[in-house]
């Protein structure tokens, strides 16, 4: 069976039959679905997925990723869109709520391996937007709370004149026991250390490493970024498949 036929057959099975009835067929096709996993009316378009026992996935989700792995007690709500060449990993009792949009662009725009990983007991609530150009990693018992937050693992710096620009990619790491309030914006390359609280409406453009509560300060002027070849925190990506010719990875701080 070709990969395309496998995806089509899987989609039809979930469309027509309950999970318990189709579990043997899914396992024969190379997936891994344990007894006790339950999936609602959801559209799967995955190369591979593994669902442990006591996993629950709600209705009207579209999950089209390279690899899906949900451990025991993991939860996915309703109306989520998870799409692109990356892996989605939910560890034990981790949860993805409702109406979230988690996207990664096709190869040629994005490059290399990427994953969204929620540690044990971590949770993304509802109505958030997450860009997985690079990986987004949540530690244990951390929560992206409320609604309306955005996590972006890439950004651009435009030349002062003309059409030139370059892109900076960088993974986002949220360590254990972090709380992030509603409507926050977290930029590429940011690490939020263990136990930190990020207040609602906060823009986080640099790593937070000291314990405490962080909120947005008053607006202020900063200098323009130095040219990328003069920055020791950036490494240029060399990949002929990339459409963008100037792409840099931000090194972890």
Residue 253: pLDDT band with limits 50, 70, 90: low
Phi, psi of 48 (to 5 degrees): -155, 140
Overall domain count for the chain: 1
The stretch 79-83 carries a mean pLDDT of 98
Residue 1 has pLDDT above 70, yes or no: no
The stretch 225-246 carries a mean pLDDT of 88
Return the CATH number at 235. Answer: 2.160.10.10
pTM (2 decimals)? Answer: 0.88
The stretch 196-220 carries a mean pLDDT of 89
Q: Which residues of 221-238 are buried (b: 16+ CB within 10 A; e: fewer)?
A: eeeeeeebeeeeebeebe
* Residue span of the structural domain in which 19 resides: 3-250
Q: Of 118, 31, 114, 24, nearest to 74 (Cα)?
A: 118
Q: Of 69, 75, 28, 24, nearest to 50 (Cα)?
A: 69
Residue 14: pLDDT band with limits 50, 70, 90: confident
């Amino acid at each position: 069976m070709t990969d395309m036929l496998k995806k089509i057959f899987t989609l039809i099975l979930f469309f027509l039959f309950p999970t318990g009835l189709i579990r043997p067929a899914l396992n024969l096709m190379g997936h891994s679905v344990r007894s006790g996993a339950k999936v609602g009316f959801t559209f799967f378009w995955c190369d591979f997925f593994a669902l442990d026992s006591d996993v629950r996935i709600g209705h009207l989700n579209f999950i089209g990723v390279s690899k899906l792995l949900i451990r025991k007690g993991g939860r996915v709500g309703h109306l989520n869109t998870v799409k692109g060449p990356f892996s989605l990993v939910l560890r034990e009792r981790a949860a993805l709520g409702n109406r979230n949009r988690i996207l990664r662009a096709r190869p040629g725009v994005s490059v290399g391996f990427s994953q969204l990983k929620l540690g044990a007991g971590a949770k993304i609530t509802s109505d958030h937007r997450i860009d997985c150009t690079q990986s987004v990693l949540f530690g244990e018992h951390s929560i992206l709370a409320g609604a309306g937050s955005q996590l972006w693992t890439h950004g651009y710096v435009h030349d002062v004149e003309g059409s030139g620009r370059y892109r900076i990619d960088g993974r986002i790491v949220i360590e254990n026991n972090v709380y992030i309030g509603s409507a926050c914006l977290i930029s590429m390359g940011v690490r939020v250390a263990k136990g930190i609280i990020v207040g609602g409406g906060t823009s986080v453009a640099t790593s937070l490493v000291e314990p405490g509560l962080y909120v947005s300060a008053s607006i202020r002027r900063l200098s323009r970024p130095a040219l990328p070849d003069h920055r020791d925190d950036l490494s240029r990506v060399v990949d002929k498949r990339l459409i963008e010719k100037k792409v840099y990875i931000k090194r972890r701080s």
